[in-house]
């Protein structure tokens, strides 16, 4: 409804009120023939008229506020449209692997690591596995997501044909997504309290926590060779070629701790 139609409706309402007031005045004149009983009626009429005047004034004030808010609303709409356009432009330049990674639900990862019990204690406290290890230094908390340093087409082309083989850029970067998932799962094992861990994960959590305190690994995202289970990166010839390429390009480093081969994710320089 525009301001002209609102004004027209208000004029019609005021005209109706004026007509009613005129009728009431005529009735008052007729009742003056009986002055003894007309005083109470006049008081009631005056009160009714005053109430109607207050209602009309309230309507006017509300209309004025709405009219003043229209320019602000238009500015807000325009700003929202500009922001939407910026976000659309940004989404066009985000790598598809990053989009897939961002859409992965954190809750699903948590459910895989910490399945909820059916209302009963799983009996973890009764597992005589020794005392819970001390919490790791605070620097490990709030580290965010594992680094996903994707390979560019020029980097892959710069490799020798012998090293590159039949690897494609899409397959190599999909493997980086897999590695980030492995490292994130291990980071959650490190940070989770014992009472929130499933029974079958506690032994691995102890092992991961010991590795996380080692020099050169502390404070970094890592995973074990045993964690490699796809969907893209596997322990086959293709997977080994991908690891070789990523190690050559500085995306990962490797070390051996006990019988474990530990792979550490590197951040962009």
Q: What angle do CA 168, 226, 130 make, to 5 degrees?
A: 150
Share of the chain above pLDDT 90, in %: 41
Question: Which residue is it, tokens 């060779």?
Answer: 225
Relative to beta strand 260-265, strand 252-257 is antiparallel
Query: Is there a contact between 167 and 241 (Cβ–Cβ < 8 Å)?
Result: yes
Tell the burial category of 122 from Cβ atoms under 10 Å away from its Cβ (0-12, 13-18, 19+): middle
Task: Go through 91-100 and write b for each residue having 16 or more CB atoms within 10 A of its CB, e for each that does not.
Answer: eeeeeebeee
Question: Which residue is it, tokens 């014992």?
Answer: 194
Asked whether residue 134 carries a pLDDT value surpassing 60, the answer given is: no
Asked whether residue 28 carries a pLDDT value surpassing 80, the answer given is: no
Share of the chain above pLDDT 70, in %: 73
pLDDT at 56: 87
List, for residues 212-246, the tens digit of each pLDDT value: 999 999 999 999 999 999 899 999 999 999 999 99
- Counting other chains too, the contacts that 63-70 makes at CB distance below 8 Å and 24 or more residues apart are 63/6, 63/10, 67/3
Query: Is there a contact between 217 and 211 (Cβ–Cβ < 8 Å)?
Result: yes
Quick one: tokens of 115?
Answer: 């399945």
- 186 — pLDDT class (breaks 50, 70, 90): very high
Asked whether residue 182 carries a pLDDT value surpassing 50, the answer given is: yes
CA-atom Rg of the chain in angstroms: 37
End-to-end CA distance of the chain: 58
Rounded Cα gap, residues 38 and 81, in angstroms:
64
Quick one: tokens of 74?
Answer: 């238009």
Among 210, 197, 178, 202, which residue's Cα sits nearest to residue 104?
A: 178
Among 7, 16, 123, which residue's Cα sits nearest to residue 66?
A: 7
Q: Which of 14-18, 37-41, 231-235, 252-256 is predicted with the least confidence, judged by mean pLDDT?
A: 37-41
Tell the burial category of 269 from Cβ atoms under 10 Å away from its Cβ (0-12, 13-18, 19+): exposed
pLDDT at 143: 62
Among 169, 174, 172, 148, which residue's Cα sits nearest to residue 244?
A: 172
Question: Which residue is it, tokens 């019990």?
Answer: 117
């Amino acid at each position: 409804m525009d301001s002209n139609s609102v004004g027209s409706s208000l004029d019609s309402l005021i005209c109706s009120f004026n007509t009613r007031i005129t009728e009431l005045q005529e009735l008052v004149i007729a009742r003056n023939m009986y002055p003894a009983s007309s005083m109470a009626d006049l008081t009631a009429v005056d009160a009714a008229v005053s109430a109607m005047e207050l209602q009309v004034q309230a309507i006017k004030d509300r209309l004025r506020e709405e009219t003043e808010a229209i320019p602000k609303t238009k500015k807000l709409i325009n700003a929202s449209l500009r922001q939407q356009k910026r976000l659309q432009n940004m989404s066009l330049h985000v790598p598809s692997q990053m989009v897939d990674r961002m859409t992965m639900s954190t809750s699903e990862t948590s459910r895989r690591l910490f399945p909820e019990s059916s209302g009963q204690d799983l009996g973890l406290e009764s597992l005589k596995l020794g005392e819970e290890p001390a919490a790791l230094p605070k620097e490990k908390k709030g580290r965010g997501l594992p680094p996903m340093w994707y390979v560019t087409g020029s980097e892959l082309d710069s490799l020798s044909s012998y090293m590159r083989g039949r690897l494609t850029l899409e397959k190599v970067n999909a493997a980086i997504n897999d590695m980030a998932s492995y490292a994130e799962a291990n980071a959650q094992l490190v940070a989770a309290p014992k009472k929130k861990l499933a029974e079958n994960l506690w032994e691995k959590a102890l092992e991961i926590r010991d590795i996380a305190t080692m020099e050169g690994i502390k404070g970094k995202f890592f995973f074990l060779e045993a964690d490699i289970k796809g969907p893209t990166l596997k322990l086959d010839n293709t997977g080994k070629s991908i690891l070789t390429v990523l190690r050559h390009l500085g995306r990962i480093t490797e070390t051996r701790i006990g019988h474990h081969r530990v792979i550490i994710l590197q951040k962009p320089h």
